[in-house]
Amino acid sequence: MQEVMAKIISLAKRRGFVFQSSEIYGGVEGLWDLGPLGALMKKNLRDFWIKRFVLEEENIFLVEGTILMHPKVWEASGHLEHFTDPLIECKNCHFRYRADHMVAGRFIGQGKAEEKNQCPNCGGKEFTEPRMFNLMFKTFLGPVEDKAHLTYLRPETAQSMFTNFEKVLRTMRAKLPFGIAQTGRSFRNEITLGDFIFRTREFEIAEIEFFVKPGEDERYFEIWLNKWEKFFLDLGIKKENLRRFEHPKESLAHYSKRTVDIEYKFPFGWQELAGVANRTDYDLKRHSEFSGQDLRYFDEEKNKKYYPYVIEPTVGLERIILALLCEAYQEIPGGRTKTTKPTKEIEVLLKLDKKIAPIKVAVLPLVKNKPELVKKAKEVYQMLKPYFVCQYDELGSIGRRYRRGDEIGVVFSATIDFQTLKDDTVTIRDRDTMEQKRIRIPELGDILQKALEGEKFLKFG
């Protein structure tokens, strides 16, 4: 399975989805940049998330909080005290590891680690006692680098949704139940990295704090767990590749009454993709206590004030990107073309969901040495470009260009050939079925729009 992962990583790097950050200087562990295709994919993902959970919901409000916040936030939230992992150090080479990862045998097969509790760097078997290491990155607000100016890069986006709870309530005239949603960069000084973009030190979280009446929390937990899971199914992930993991009491975060992870079957095993937590009234209570502001909700029906409970569905966008790349990656030995002799090569198809695929349409002149074809293809490209993310490609045979597009999940290809010059039609090819149709150029925009929205391609024959 690691072989498949290596191929997916190679494709992601080679075709512009993901690059190692600062690679010209040797790279930095746990930091990855998104290349042109990865950045578009993430934008599509974020847009779909906002559409699903803000635009299509009636009572969820989008906010955008700052990454740096008042240091007291992290005291109140409990992160200063509890956002830690157990750290151990190899007594021989002084490399550091997460103790729970070492005990679980995570490093077996890496470097010199042949068994549990063995250092992958030097093979040593003696470690220091675990000490708790706080994962928050420190920084200073202003030019004075002393304790009074110390703050942290946020490790989750949740906190600005709690500190703005009363403002959203008031400005939006919200009533329970309602939610606050946010996507944004988060930072964790993770001890153990690896598995490509699965666990990184900087990533984007998309999460909702959904405030409910106390006593209704358990019901809303189930509702959100189902909605959250459906979101991943609607991104094209197969049901059999998702499962739920109920956290036992002892592994719950300090704020949680119940947490269920949605796990994905990555090539390197079942791992957390997303989560839903019942944060109770912990955060609002703590921020009231630490700030001296009353963050209770006034219930007009009951004529009393109380702290709402919070259900929090959360996910990291890069982790979804990795899951979608794994889910979409297919190898077809000998290729899919039945009309010509099969090649010996393995063809790669990245069957990304249409709404998430970074490139929607490739515009291809049949050959590049006929100026009239190239001119027409460029006109079609210019016509479609403002409405769809398009790619113009004239290099190599048409079959090669189709395959190059399939490898990055280009949804449709529009080929401009000699017939185009006669009757103003182009050949549209569907990535998944390889079905081809001739379509009149003036109708192309409408037809592609509908096909991308999910109407059956065939209908437009």
What is the binding site for ligand GAP (CB under 6 A)?
156, 158, 188, 190, 199-200, 203, 205, 207, 272-275, 312, 314-316, 318-319
Helix axis angle for 2-14 and 317-328, nearest 10°, is 110
Closer residue to ligand GAP (CB): 272 or 407: 272
What is the amino acid identity at position 3?
Answer: E
Q: How far is the CB of 159 from ligand GAP (least distance, A)?
A: 8
Q: How far is the CB of 72 from ligand GAP (least distance, A)?
A: 18
DSSP output for 301-367:
TTTEEEPPEEEEEEEEHHHHHHHHHHHHEEEEET-S-SSSPPPSSEEEEE---TTT-S--EEEEES-
Closer residue to ligand GAP (CB): 61 or 198: 198
Which residue from 389, 366, 365 is spatially nearest to 378, judged by alpha carbons?
365
Closest-CB residue for ligand GAP? 316
Closer residue to ligand GAP (CB): 319 or 403: 319
Q: How far is the CB of 320 from ligand GAP (least distance, A)?
A: 8
Closer residue to ligand GAP (CB): 42 or 319: 319
For residue 139, count CB atoms less than 10 angstroms from its CB and return exposed for 0-12, middle for 13-18, buried for 19 or more: middle
Q: How far is the CB of 29 from ligand GAP (least distance, A)?
A: 12
Q: How far is the CB of 304 from ligand GAP (least distance, A)?
A: 29
Closer residue to ligand GAP (CB): 187 or 412: 187
- Given a contact cutoff of 8 angstroms between Cβ atoms, the answer to whether 37 and 408 are in contact is yes
Q: How far is the CB of 234 from ligand GAP (least distance, A)?
A: 17
63 φ, ψ to 5°?
A: -130, 170
Q: How far is the CB of 74 from ligand GAP (least distance, A)?
A: 13
Closer residue to ligand GAP (CB): 184 or 405: 184
Residue with tokens 């950050």: 21
Closer residue to ligand GAP (CB): 57 or 272: 272
Query: Which residues are within 8 A (CB) of 26 and not within 5 positions of it... i.e. 6 or more apart?
Result: none
Q: What value does the CA radius of gyration of the chain take, rounded to a whole number of Å?
A: 26
